[in-house]
Amino acid sequence: MTDLIVVGAGLTGLFAAWQAARRGAQCMLVTAGRGGLELSSGCLGIASSGPPLRQVAKAPLPHPYALVGLDALRRAVDDLLELLEASNLPYAGGLESNLELPTAAGGTACAAYAPRSLARFLDAGAGPVTLAGFTGFRDFDSVLASNRLSARLQRPVAAADLPLPGSLPLRDLYSTDLARRFEDPDWRAQACAAWRPILIGVRHLGLPAVLGFRQHASVIAAIEELLELTVFEIPTLPPCLPGLRLESVLREACLAGGVDLIEGATAIGRVDGRNAVTRAAGIVAQTAGGPQVIDAGAVLLATGDLLHGGLVARQSGRLQESVFDLPVVHSSNRSTWTAPHFSDPQPYATFGLRVDARMRPLGADGAPLMQNLFAAGGILAGARRTEEGSRQGIGLATAWRAVESALP
């Protein structure tokens, strides 16, 4: 029998499965899709409205931060940063303050931690920087980005367009196409040779985040040596390489730790009600080869919120948890789920499962529904993750606490 089944393969699910494997547990990761990391910048948002430590410490119940505490967040982040450093994907930042980094649209975004390739933008200080796009790559407009960033930061930001060697494909270039090309040393050298005359006098160069995938660190080091300047990356439209790199590190760590992975499968929860205490017996994985019954000592739901499939809205106005059909905290009046304007705080953002400090879903009476069922990440009630900039912090901290509770 599997010790722990984790349902969902976003940041929360992958991190939880890896944590379980580190504890020596037999873990299975079941997912219907890829999760959202390929859509993300790869940054770790803890709280964007002020110093992360202060925001986490003052979070009121039933906010997930208030349930798990600061220690769980610290330990989760430390574990992940250690893994990333060992995987040659170092991150920069801390819990004391946020990093303010440029976006592809010329704005800025805050995060407590970011891939070092993104955070190197801060090395320029108040000095001049140049943003450069690539001919034929439409997912980054250097003129738009530089004009808007210059206005936002109140300092000069130049723009440049850099040619790419060889012929372009007869379709739009994706970031993954360029990442593969940049890992070819000969192609990379040709590109840098063509760029040198264009970049005379440039000391800090911002490029779309396409500088390699598995050989990312060596690609940036080679470009900096060839051009004799400092390079930083700016996240692009999906598929976004910084998010894909983070996903790859976690997936490979899970597989190396012995996690069994079932992809493309919908999970249906199984309940054992034969004893006085109701327990999760495991799941039925609806796979392409037919249903597969999987027994488990514990189950952890990391399926996400309404936008990710962990919660499903029915036409009747009922909000349903997608695996065990657990009770969901939400308004019964569907007309109140959304705010009039898309930029306003959205009421549905706080919908989800109510859990205790061990991350066990609770019933209407406030008691755990099952002693061995746990939940983490976006499926939890009580937080406005996007508005707060807390999505990754909540996912990591609650996953860490849920695994600790499930595998004492």
Most confident of 309-313, 385-389, 400-404: 400-404
Kind of pairing, strands 204-208 and 129-134? parallel
**How confident is the model over 204-248, as pLDDT tens digits?**
999 999 999 989 999 999 999 999 999 999 999 899 999 999 999
Mean pLDDT of 350-378: 96
d(CA 289, CA 269): 18
- For residue 127, how many other CB atoms are within 10 A of its CB? 10
Q: Assess if residue 29 is contained within a domain.
A: yes
Domain that holds residue 35: 2-90+244-264+292-339+354-406
Q: Assess if residue 379 is contained within a domain.
A: yes
Q: Assess if residue 347 is contained within a domain.
A: no
**How confident is the model over 323-346, as pLDDT tens digits?**
999 999 988 888 888 888 877 888
Is residue 188 located within the same domain as residue 214? yes
Q: Is the pLDDT of residue 274 over 80?
A: no
Could you tell me what percent of the chain has a pLDDT over 70?
A: 100
Q: Assess if residue 68 is contained within a domain.
A: yes
Q: Is the pLDDT of residue 170 over 80?
A: no
Whichever domain contains 189, its CATH number is 3.40.50
Better-predicted residue by pLDDT, 278 or 323: 323
Supply 200's token pair.
Answer: 């005379």
Q: Assess if residue 307 is contained within a domain.
A: yes
Q: What pLDDT, on the 0 to 100 scale, is given for residue 129?
A: 96
Is residue 257 located within the same domain as residue 381? yes
Is residue 77 located within the same domain as residue 112? no
Whichever domain contains 72, its CATH number is 3.50.50.60
Could you tell me what percent of the chain has a pLDDT over 90?
A: 82
Instruction: Count how many Cα atoms sit within 13 Å of the Cα of residue 301 in the half-sphere of its side chain.
Output: 35
Q: Assess if residue 95 is contained within a domain.
A: no
d(CA 125, CA 123): 5
Is residue 174 located within the same domain as residue 208? yes
Q: Give the count of domains, the chain.
A: 2
Is residue 47 located within the same domain as residue 135? no
Mean pLDDT of 75-89: 97
Q: What pLDDT, on the 0 to 100 scale, is given for residue 306?
A: 86
Is residue 215 located within the same domain as residue 117? yes
Q: What pLDDT, on the 0 to 100 scale, is given for residue 214?
A: 87
Mean pLDDT of 339-366: 90
**pLDDT band for position 358 (50/70/90)?**
very high
Please give the model's pTM, rounded to 2 decimal places.
0.96
Instruction: Please answer whether residues 49 and 389 qualify as being in contact, where contact means their C-beta atoms are separated by less than 8 angstroms.
Output: yes
Find the farthest-apart pair of alpha carbons in the chain and give their distance in angstroms, rounded. 77
